Structure 1
Amino acid sequence: MITPLLMTLGVALVLALLFAPFEALRWWATQGARESRETAAALRDIRRSIEVARSATLPQLDDRSCYVVYLSGVGAVDHEVSPEGEGPLLDDLRTRMPDTLLISDVYPYSPSNLPLLSGRWSSWWWRLIERWGRGRFTSVLQFLVYLRNVLQFAVSADDRYGPMYSLGVAGVIWDRLQASGYRPGCGRPVVLFGWSGGAQIALSAAWYLTGAGMPVYLLSLGGVITSDPGLDRITHVWHIKGTRDWVQGIGALFPGRWPGRSNTFWARAVDDGRITIRTVGAMGHLGRGSYLSRSRTPDGRTCREVVADTIVDILREAGLTKAPPGDSGKTP
């Protein structure tokens, strides 16, 4: 009984690996190539307008210090963030940094921003998984969501399919920024805030977003980050990690991040001082005692509060928000 089951699971995993790039390839074949040409033309116009406006003072449309775009972790199924973990953290950041605009409706595990729960032929299946996976004895079904999104993360990090995938995500972020009031050519900084696998996808998309003439930063919360070409263009990376989070350490296993390698995207960013690692104490990746949990740290704050304080302090020290300092003077 066990052997046939293991063989079935093995075949299913191999098929999943083979079909993982198909969504990015299908997007490129049906709409990606056309959209990229349109975006490239628009960016050329933007660059011309920036050159013309350099001698003049550009009017400010609002008083935002920066725009923050949040990309969820591999447990995401649609544009809505988790109400138990991500939602409270983002709400706290919005309250404490009113001078920034935080955008959180990007679904990073699809190059066309298509969620799992609607708009797909397989949406009925993912809705069943989402509903049944809430049960005490059926929560293991959520593993299928994690597996599917981890494979999309792998596509993003792949040298063959990653450029197409990342171009699609960059286009979605660009559209959401403009819909939220971002004016092309204004020079306002954009912070890509990625949790877990969302950090790598954000980093890959940064390569294209910098082409719009905007300063782009990456805020990684437990992110699995590879030696990505986006590191050559990004302004700065802040990587927040806990000492009990082994998942984020997977990024260091990619060859481009191996010690002793000097001519990689990661090594160049480190040498330039554009990567800062912030440790937030004994936190894990998921569950009790993780970044988004309400578990108490030795100083009395919850893990989520420690993370929020750290993020506010990072952006304040970088001049990206005028929010008052957090309580990060306490070490968990």
Structure 2
Amino acid sequence: MNAFLLWVVGGLGPVLLAEALLARYEVLAYGAGWRTPTTELPAGVPYARGAAPDGPPAAYLVYLDGIGKRRVRDSRDGGELVKALLAKAPELRVLGQVQPYSPLADPLADRPVWAWLRRRAGLLLFLHNVMQIFVAADHRYRPLYNRAVGSQIATQLRLAGYRPDSGVPVVLLSYSGGAQVATGAVGELHARLRSPLLLITLGGFHNGANDLARAEHLHRLTSASDRIERVGAWIFPQRWRLFRGSGWNRALRAGKITVHRLDPATHVGPLSYISPKARLPDGRSHLDRTADTVIALVRARRGASAAADDRSS
């Protein structure tokens, strides 16, 4: 057993060190201006799907996936959550191409070296994105990472037809580690688009340090069976109530965070939030319930805004 542990540590140690250095390189390359973030999408991939931009749409929804995100087209569930949102809420304009784990908006699986590694050591792709989450959470790199990905999201929204100062809400729907990126993008998005921002985290894994003052509200979709989200709330001190000055705790005191239980869903696996097979007592799948919950929150925000406009007129 000792020999096995030494083999694991000896094998993973250099890999983790290399991943940590590569993850920092990308955000530093962005900050130094050595490389320009990618804005074009592959042929045949639209900047958004759903409602046409000339409506205007009820909202623009940007989906920030978990650590499985490696290219423009893929997602943890094969795009089933986005498909469900589009089918159930045709009034939304949905973007799913943002690369939350690349400050340069460069899809990981499309890089020649990573394409070679993916065929031989697919685990490294996940380690890379895990390391990017911790870089995004590191106080030394966080401001630059937030600016890079916030700028990427703003650019993709503009290309999808979003007009700054239009008043059309932007919804950041994030899964797992995507919550670190979503909470970090708030300031840059507000500065560039001046849009109403609604955040919805699904099993959100984030450090709680980012300032949420410019967000209208954050809806936390969680489950008692989600161990990974609980780990995030435990390992990051800014999520502890003791650290009253953190962005998360300031938002809590301001009443900006609402918790919604999706028990008994798990973070991943056959009982996950986005499982199309796991069934609830009412007959819906976990995927359907998650999509229904997201849509209800977006529509409730729209209804509250319309009511406020009526009262002021």
Q: 1:30 to 1:264 in 2, by over 3 A?
A: closer
Q: Distance in 1 between matches of 2:211 and 2:273?
A: 25
Q: Which runs of 5+ in 1 are unaligned?
A: 36-59, 133-140, 323-332
Are 2:211 and 2:248, in contact at CA under 8 Å, matched by a contact in 1? no
Q: TM-score, normalised by structure 2?
A: 0.84
1:225-268 CA distance string (max 9 Å, x none):
22233312211111111221111123312111112332221111
- Give the match's secondary structure for 2:280: coil
Q: Distance in 2 between matches of 1:31 and 1:276?
A: 41
Q: Name which of structure 1's ranges 281-290 and 17-26 shifts more when overlaid on structure 2.
A: 17-26
Q: How does 1:1-332 map to 2 (within 5 A)?
A: 2=4, 3-31=6-34, 61-82=54-75, 85-118=77-110, 120=111, 123-124=112-113, 126-131=114-119, 141-212=121-192, 213-253=194-234, 254-293=236-275, 294-319=277-302
Q: 1:320 to 1:78 in 2, by over 3 A?
A: farther
Q: Distance in 1 between matches of 2:66 and 2:166?
A: 30
- Counterpart AA for 2:156: R
Are 1:63 and 1:99, in contact at CA under 8 Å, matched by a contact in 2? no
Q: Distance in 2 between matches of 1:278 and 1:68?
A: 19
Are 1:315 and 1:321, in contact at CA under 8 Å, matched by a contact in 2? no
Are 2:59 and 2:92, in contact at CA under 8 Å, matched by a contact in 1? yes
Are 1:100 and 1:321, in contact at CA under 8 Å, matched by a contact in 2? no
- Counterpart AA for 2:184: S
1:132-185 CA distance string (max 9 Å, x none):
6xxxxxxxx443222110110111111111111121111111111111111122
Q: 1:263 to 1:18 in 2, by over 3 A?
A: same
- Give the match's secondary structure for 2:168: coil
- Give the match's secondary structure for 2:18: helix
Over the matched positions of the two proteins, sequence identity in percent amounts to 34
What is the total number of aligned residue pairs between the two structures? 284
Q: Name which of structure 1's ranges 295-304 and 197-206 shifts more when overlaid on structure 2.
A: 295-304
Aligned-pair CA distance for 1:129:
4.5
Return the index of the structure with the highest Cα Rg: 1
- Give the match's secondary structure for 2:60: strand
Are 1:67 and 1:190, in contact at CA under 8 Å, matched by a contact in 2? yes
- Counterpart AA for 1:259: R
Q: Which runs of 5+ in 2 are unaligned?
A: 38-52, 306-313
Question: Where has structure 1 moved over 6 Å in runs of 4 or more?
Answer: none
Are 1:97 and 1:321, in contact at CA under 8 Å, matched by a contact in 2? no
1:59-99 CA distance string (max 9 Å, x none):
x94231111111111011111133x7251211111121111
Q: Distance in 1 between matches of 2:267 and 2:78?
A: 13
- Give the match's secondary structure for 2:191: helix
Q: CA RMSD in A?
A: 2.3
Q: 1:129 to 1:306 in 2, by over 3 A?
A: farther
Aligned-pair CA distance for 1:297:
2.2
Are 1:99 and 1:321, in contact at CA under 8 Å, matched by a contact in 2? no
Q: Distance in 2 between matches of 1:11 and 1:161?
A: 22
Q: Name which of structure 1's ranges 258-267 and 282-291 shifts more when overlaid on structure 2.
A: 258-267
Q: TM-score, normalised by structure 1?
A: 0.79
Aligned-pair CA distance for 1:4:
4.3
- Counterpart AA for 1:224: F
Are 1:66 and 1:189, in contact at CA under 8 Å, matched by a contact in 2? yes
Q: 1:173 to 1:255 in 2, by over 3 A?
A: same
